[in-house]
Structure 1
C-alpha cells in the first residue's frame, strides 16, 4: 500500500505542469534544508562550541602544568640554607685568618708566664736597685669581633691583657740602664705607666706598669 501511495504521488507529480513541478521541488528542497539545518547543523554548531570550550580549558590547564614544571625544575637541587652556610663558612675562614694573624703578632711579645721572672732577673742584675713590689693584676679580656671571654658562642678571637706592676728604688743611672734593657728585649712588652720620683740624689723611686697579651686566660708566671 505504501508502494502504491508513492507511485500515485509520483504519477500525480508527473501530471503537473513543469512550472508547478519546479516550484514543488524547490519547496521540498527548502523543507529538507530547514530540517537539516535545525536537526543537524545546530547540533553540530553546539557541539563545536563545546569542543572549542573544552579545548581552551585543556590549553589553560596545560599552560599551568608547564609553569609548575618550570618552577619545579628551577628548584631542583635548590638549598634554602646555601647562602647562610656560605656566609658561615666565610666567617669561619676570616676568624681562622684573624686568629693566625693575632698569634703571629703575639709571638713577638713576652709570654705572661715569663714576664714576671724576666723583669725580676733584669732588676737583680742591677746591684744598685732594690725591688719593693712585684704584683700581678687579673687578666682582662679584650673582645674582638663582638666576642667576650664569657660568651657561649665564639664570635671571634679573644685576647687577654696581663698586667704587672713593679716598684723599685735605687741609683738613678742604674734605673735608666734597667729601663733601657727592658726596651731592648728581643720579645717586647707594652709600657702602660711609668712614674719616677727623685729622692735624695742620686736615688729614685720607680713605679712601672707593663702588660703583655696572650690568647689564654692565666696568671702571669704560671
Structure 2
C-alpha cells in the first residue's frame, strides 16, 4: 500500500466534525446536481442512441477494435447515434465508427488516474465530463435505446450488469442488450447458467432472455432494428 492510499483510507474512516460535514459532504451534493443537470440538458436532444461499452486497453488494429468501429458505423447508417465512455480503446472505436458514418457521436468521459482520456472522434458539444461514476452510469442508461458490450474489464462488467439489473427489475424498458464475442463471453454465460441459475437459484430462466451473445456487426444491427420494428419505433431518419 502506498502512503497516499493509506492516507486516503484513514481520511475516509476519520470521525468528522459537524463543520467538516457541512463544508465537504454537503457541498458535494451541488457538484452531483450540476453533473446531472448538465447531462440531462445536453443528452435529452440527441435522439435514439446505442451505448457501446468495452475495454480502454483495446488497441487500433485489434479484432475487437475494428469490430466495434464497424458496429458503430453500421448503427449510424441505420439512423442510430452512439454513446461511449469517451476514452480510448473500444470507446474510441465506437466514436470513430459513428464519426465516419456521419452519425451522432457522444462521449461520457470521467476523470481517472490512468487510461482515460478524450478521444478525437466525439461531436463538438457532446463530450461530457464527470467526476462521479454513478452519475455517468445514469447517462449511459437513460439516453440509450440499446446496449452493446464488447470485451472489457471490470468497468465494462459494471456497466453491463447495471443495464441488465435495471431491465430485470423493470426500472427501465426492455431495450436490447447485446454481448459481442462468443469466445469472450461464453465462459461468463456458462457460470451464470451453472452457478447462479442451476446451483444457487439466484436468477430465473427468463433472466437469460435479457441479453444475447453474437459475433458480427450485422447481428447487432439486426437485433436493434428488429426491436424498433416490433415496437413500431423509428430511429433518426
What's the TM-score, normalizing by structure 2? 0.22
Higher Cα Rg, which structure = 1
Q: Which has the higher strand share?
A: 1
